[in-house]
Structure 1
Amino acid sequence: MRLRSPRQNLTCMRKKVMLCVWWNFKGILHYELLPSNQTIISAVYSAQLERLAQALREKEPALINRKGVILHHDNAQPHTARITAEKLRQLEWEVLPQPAYSPDIAPSDYHLFRSLQNFLLGKKFNNEECLKNALTEFFASKSQEFYNRGIKMLPEHCAQVEENNGNYIVG
């Protein structure tokens, strides 16, 4: 089961909060909002992976037991740190190989977040609960086919990045 691990900055009450979301071909598995003063370091990311594992045990037990987890995340330092590598070994998750950072092959950047940005355009949130409600509404509004298409486009985008020697893909 492939999972995506992206982040997006959102504004709530004039403060930026970070959205961390994990999804697969069926939809959203887990998301968290981090306060503006919190940075993603390996300890934070490892704790998030543990919460994701719990969400997976609850939402997708058959997929975990049958196929295992293949995680797709970029090469950001918290993702490659020793603490994170140990957590991934403990969870027995495979990590999809990732070339040097390229947003062109992150389905969340070219698929999920582009759609989320359009949904949030012009919206203001008075508190975190209002933001969470909007996110829940957005995630629920997307069909399984939407999420499935984002995952299925990954091989094509990887091939395009390789063909362009890692240069940015327009369109």
Structure 2
Amino acid sequence: MSKRITPFASRYCSTLDRLKEAIRRKRPGIFRKGVVLQHNNASPHSANLTQQWLQRYGWEILPHPAHSPDLAPSDFHLFGPLKRHLGGIAFETEDDLISELRNWFDNLDVDFFPVGINSLLSRWQKCIDLHGDYVEKK
């Protein structure tokens, strides 16, 4: 029995379309080398529609052990500092929040994202060494 096409999978594929176009414009050499994508096992990521999209464009997916947020750079590198920055601030409007988020992202050190991405290799190695257990546990 095949999985239903969910609106979330359709939306995720639309996001992948925009990502593909942005990579094509900004980093055309990546397509010659091949795109390697890391996403978790959320249902939009594992849906048949998404899998078909990924196969159509030949994007390689890094396997992601279940319940391992410690392998997603957004979880281990981005959201912690962002949460600490926003902690205790009461925003009066959504626009105030958006403004603060833009300010925070605009003022990140130029090395912020490369540091997070580059630490992924050692985190993956820890996960392999721990046979898929949480990297942060050991």
Q: 1:149 aligns with which of 109, 115, 127?
A: 115
Runs of 4+ in 1 over 6 A off after TM superposition: none
Number of residues paired by the alignment?
132
Q: 1:98 aligns with which of 54, 57, 64?
A: 64
Partner residue of 1:119?
85
**CA spacing shift, 1:68–1:47, aligned 2, 3 Å:** same
Select the structure of larger CA radius of gyration. Answer: 2
- Structure with more of its chain in helix, by fraction: 2
Partner residue of 1:50?
17
Higher relative contact order (CA 8 A, sep 6+): 1
- Tell me the CA shift for residue 64 of structure 1: 3.3
Could you state the TM-score of these two structures normalised by the residue count of structure 1?
0.65
Aligned partners of 1:90, 1:131: CA distance in 2, in Å? 38
Q: Root-mean-square deviation (CA), in Å?
A: 2.5
Partner residue of 1:64?
30
1:161 and 2:127 are equivalent in the alignment: yes
Give SS of 1:101's match. coil
- Structure with more of its chain in strand, by fraction: 1
Q: Which ranges of structure 1 fall in alignment gaps of 5 or more residues?
A: 1-38
- Tell me the CA shift for residue 53 of structure 1: 2.5
User: Is the 8 Å Cα contact of residues 24 and 31 (structure 2) preserved in structure 1?
Assistant: no
Partner residue of 2:95?
129
Aligned partners of 1:65, 1:116: CA distance in 2, in Å? 31
Q: What amino acid is aligned across from residue 9 of structure 2 in structure 1?
A: S
Instruction: Give aligned-pair identity as a percent.
Output: 39
Which string of whole-angstrom CA distances, capped at 9 and with x for unpartnered residues, describes residues 121-162 of structure 1?
122333433333222222222223211111111121112223
Which string of whole-angstrom CA distances, capped at 9 and with x for unpartnered residues, describes residues 26-47 of structure 1?
xxxxxxxxxxxxx982112112
Give SS of 2:131's match. coil
